[in-house]
Amino acid sequence: MNIIADKLKKTFAARDRADFLALSALVLVFTALAFFRLGNTYAPQSYYTTDTSNRDIVLDFGDYVDLSSFSVFLGNLNTRHFSLSAFNEVTGAWEIINGEAVAESVFAWNQIDLNYRLRYLGIVVTDDESMINEIVIKHMDGSVILPVNYEEYPALFDEQELFPDARTYMTGTMFDEVYHGRTAYEFLHGLPAYETTHPHFGKILISLGVLLFGMTPFGWRFVPVMFGIAIIPLMYFFARKLFKEPFIAAATTALLVFDCMHYNLSRIATIDIFAAFFILMMYYYMFRYFQKDSAYRCGLLAGHNITSVISSSSSDKSASAGSFCALSDKFPPTEVYTPLALSGISMAFAIATKWTGVYAGAGLAVLFIWYTLTHFPKKQTLRLFLFCCLFFVAIPLVIYTLCFIPVVGYTQYDNLIDKTIQGTLSMFDYHYNLEAEHYYSSPFYEWPVIWMPLLDANDIVSADKVSSVSCMGNPLIWWAGIPCVLYVLFSWIFKKDKKAGFLVIAYLAQYVPWMPIKRITFIYHYFPAILFVILMMGYTMADIRKRFLWGKKAITIYLVTAVICFFLFFPVVSGLPVPQEYGLRLRWLKEWILVL
């Protein structure tokens, strides 16, 4: 008996070490890659505001100079309009250089060309209000020049050293950061919220990074990257519970670590990585609910340890199992309720981040009803359904409501409930009536094959180099995932494999709701579904490993090629400056525009 116990102890210890080493290596690799050139830890912070009574800025350069450009780092108000003019000392009048100059991006450097010789530069902000963090004037020779009266505008010329040699994602906002990063800043300062088309928990999370590190690229991307790291152990534990083997769990998690879209969404201040994390977590805990209940029904969680079960006779074990299964029909333990509660709480945070959490919740409902009705008697089913009303309805409503606390500016509202209702109606109206076009948009049927990647940022760094940030999947992972989805679907339908059914339902819950959507969509909307495609790939790899002697070797070779593919595309998904020609050579499909 002691020999059996010692062997079991050594086996579990070895597995624990394998789990720890594999998971630690994957987390460390991704952490290093994710924080590599994440963004500057500095940006202009002081600001100058204008309104209808204070909109003129007059700069004196002391003598006539040849100016090439005027760069402005905007605060939280986007698309500010300027009228630029030069003073004619002969006629004594101002002559307009550019009466319709525009700076669009918030918390980023915006360049406006001048190409004019003058002494006095007049800048008139034609909007009712603006927030300008810094102004930089460049000479024709490329040098930065200060006006002699810069002390009259201290907030505009006190951080000149922060002006970059090249404007890239490292120095300011990119893509939807102009909405989510900006709103995070506004939450912290009690300003009217600009981005009101999604629930607000994700922007609250982004604001925590801004609170810690300031309104800088590193600050607004810090919390997303931490969630991008945190989803790795979550995926590992999920795969470990599904497939029971450290190698397959590590292989499955490696596919997530080296997926280009996971990397991209972890390094941009948008809400998608948060939603994906909570969606994966809610399904993980629903699966744990199934596992805990099944284990309890077999008597392993009802006061019998493994040793006692092994040592008992066959008749004793049968009687024991029967008695405990009967007992479980009446009194499921807290071990069964706990993962169910955590699944509901995870769903609450998912919905409070993005409404796609509702799609995922529909999949959870299907899985819960499917399992519960087939495993519990009527009395226990009623008790479980009442329990779920608390954790899948009441608590999500509370958390969803609380995420509206920092919101200012929808309209005049009486209380938090009123604010939540009006905000929700506003969101629905926006998405239902949205009519917009975007070059990089793509419908749902193009997503699995990566027909149209999304270019988040593209900036010229030098005469022969560009910095590009593309949102796309790793082709060798996404394309290989398509037959894996079909294989798992086959296993569910024809082999009646419930584990396969769980994965198929989870995948379809993230994908099918997008099919009737008529509004503009993008490839990153597929990311929650990809999490389950990766688990389906793990399912397929587990079968290959079990069925074929060469399975482990084949899986290892495939993983190596997927990692190589990730690093091949790494420059154009990370913003690493590379020759433009490099990005053009990666145009494997004709619609791919990874650099400009």
Residue-wise pLDDT tens digits, 541-565: 999 999 999 999 999 999 999 999 9
Q: Are 204 and 211 in contact (CB under 8 A)?
A: no
Give which of 102, 168, 112, 172 is closest to 137, Cα–Cα. 112
List, run by run, the mean pLDDT of 10-residue segments along the chain (596 residues).
Answer: 52 70 95 98 96 94 94 95 93 92 96 94 95 96 94 96 95 96 96 94 98 97 98 97 95 98 98 98 96 68 41 44 48 77 97 96 94 81 89 97 91 86 93 90 97 96 94 98 98 95 97 94 97 98 96 97 98 96 94 92
> pTM score, two decimals?
0.91
Residue 190 φ/ψ, nearest 5 degrees: 65, 30
- Per-residue model confidence (pLDDT) at position 14: 61
- Per-residue model confidence (pLDDT) at position 333: 64
Query: CA Rg, the chain, in Å?
Result: 28
Residue-wise pLDDT tens digits, 164-203: 999 999 999 999 999 999 999 999 999 999 999 999 999 9
H/E segment holding residue 502: helix 498-511
- Per-residue model confidence (pLDDT) at position 225: 98
Q: Cβ contacts of residue 165 below 8 Å, gap of 6+?
A: none
- d(Cα 214, Cα 194) in Å, to the nearest integer? 19
- Per-residue model confidence (pLDDT) at position 10: 56
- d(Cα 492, Cα 532) in Å, to the nearest integer? 15
Give which of 324, 329, 335, 323 is closest to 383, Cα–Cα. 329
- d(Cα 356, Cα 376) in Å, to the nearest integer? 30
- d(Cα 256, Cα 262) in Å, to the nearest integer? 7
- Per-residue model confidence (pLDDT) at position 188: 96
Q: What is the DSSP string of 331-397?
A: ---HHHHHHHHHHHHHHHHHHHH-THHHHHHHHHHHHHHHHHHHHS-HHHHHHHHHHHHIIIIIHHH
Q: Chain centroid to CA 97: how far? A: 43
- d(Cα 368, Cα 285) in Å, to the nearest integer? 11
Beta strands in 383-515 (DSSP E): 454-460, 465-471
Report helix, strand or coil for 89: coil
Q: Are 14 and 245 in contact (CB under 8 A)?
A: no
Q: Cβ contacts of residue 359 below 8 Å, gap of 6+?
A: 509, 510, 513
- Per-residue model confidence (pLDDT) at position 90: 85
- Per-residue model confidence (pLDDT) at position 549: 95
Give which of 239, 255, 197 is closest to 423, Cα–Cα. 197
| Burial tier of 133 (Cβ tally within 10 Å: 0-12, 13-18, 19+) | buried
